[in-house]
Amino acid sequence: MEDRKWLTTAAGVKMPRLIYGTAWKKERTADLVMKAIQAGFKGIDTACQPKHYDESLVGAALHRLKDHGIERETLFLQTKFTPLSGQDPKQVPYDKNSPIESQVVQSFDTSKKNLQTHYVDSLILHSPVAPHALMMKVWDAMETIQKTGGARQLGISNCYDTEVIRQLYADASVKPAVVQNRFYQETRYDADLRHWCSAHGVIYQSFWTLTANPHIIVSNIVRTIAQKYNKTEVQIFFRYLSQSGIVPLTGTCSEQHMREDLSIFDFELSSDNLKNVSHLLNQV
């Protein structure tokens, strides 16, 4: 029987089907990560990007959790290398004048120090780098980290062009196991890219999942399904995504919502309900 709460990626890594995102949490990061893990989350997403993430406070939370009997090895930890274009020039966590391969290594060393760990389960390239030859230099540096035990799998984020991921996949020695993208109307919900990912065993993670989709949450279709299952509209949407093979990120600051999000695995939507929600996405 399929495990509702976990999946195994093409890299052989066990990954939760729902991940807690830590962007924009600032000084609340450690407390919220503590609450999320204690509520039952097993996966944490962060980045070595001080502009939007306080990675060191994620590490502080992981350290504190050990006192509660929760070891780092029981958790799925995902961080990112953020290219210079995505960094605050005043807070770059590596030498911006060094070759880009060195920037990858320095960023990962910073992540390990921040997170108080010697490895991560997933290392993501935060956004594509152009031209392709330069991106492959970045990817090669990430592959070295993976091959030496620093990261169990690799992936890419903010990649909305199927041709970019297709080229990367073709040229990479260590294939991307994950694509993490904003899930919204403007990209037609990455329908073509998700189809490609599914065909190649690449897991699609969604972020901005609720913020970008209030029209789906308040739709009559989702509201009716929620009433039928005695669940919230958000739970229905997350459950739909999970049953569709998508791993959503949620960054809620509410302990009640954390518990509600985690309880999406307590029920299953019928094929008709899945089709009805899919119809909403296909109307863009």
3-class secondary structure, 250: strand
Looking at residue 129, its pLDDT comes to 98
Which domains are present in the chain? 6-213+246-253 (3.20.20.100)
Judge residue 217's burial from the number of C-beta atoms within 10 Å of its C-beta, 0-12 exposed, 13-18 middle, 19 or more buried: middle
CA pair distance 79, 41, nearest whole angstrom: 16
CA pair distance 193, 204, nearest whole angstrom: 9
| Cβ atoms of residues 58 and 112 within 8 Å | no
Looking at residue 3, its pLDDT comes to 80
CA pair distance 172, 129, nearest whole angstrom: 14
Neighbouring C-beta atoms of residue 153, cutoff 10 Å: 23
CA pair distance 237, 241, nearest whole angstrom: 6
In degrees and rounded to multiples of 5, residue 154 shows phi and psi of -125, 160
CA distances from 256 to 81, 107, 196, 227 (A): 32, 35, 36, 19
pLDDT in tens, the chain (284 residues): 458 899 999 999 999 999 999 999 999 999 999 999 999 999 999 999 999 999 999 999 999 999 999 999 999 999 999 999 999 999 999 999 999 999 999 999 999 999 999 999 999 999 999 999 999 999 999 999 999 999 999 999 999 999 999 999 999 999 999 999 999 999 999 999 999 999 999 999 999 999 999 999 999 999 999 999 999 999 999 999 999 999 999 999 999 999 999 999 999 999 999 999 999 998 75
Cα-only R_g, the chain: 18
Look up the pTM and report it: 0.97
How open is the CA angle 36-270-283, to the nearest 5 degrees? 85
Looking at residue 283, its pLDDT comes to 75
Neighbouring C-beta atoms of residue 112, cutoff 10 Å: 18
Residue whose token pair is 């169990």: 152
CA distances from 230 to 67, 195, 268, 273 (A): 37, 31, 12, 14
Neighbouring C-beta atoms of residue 96, cutoff 10 Å: 12
Closest CA to 252 of 12, 41, 10: 41
| Cβ atoms of residues 241 and 205 within 8 Å | no
Neighbouring C-beta atoms of residue 273, cutoff 10 Å: 20
Looking at residue 1, its pLDDT comes to 41
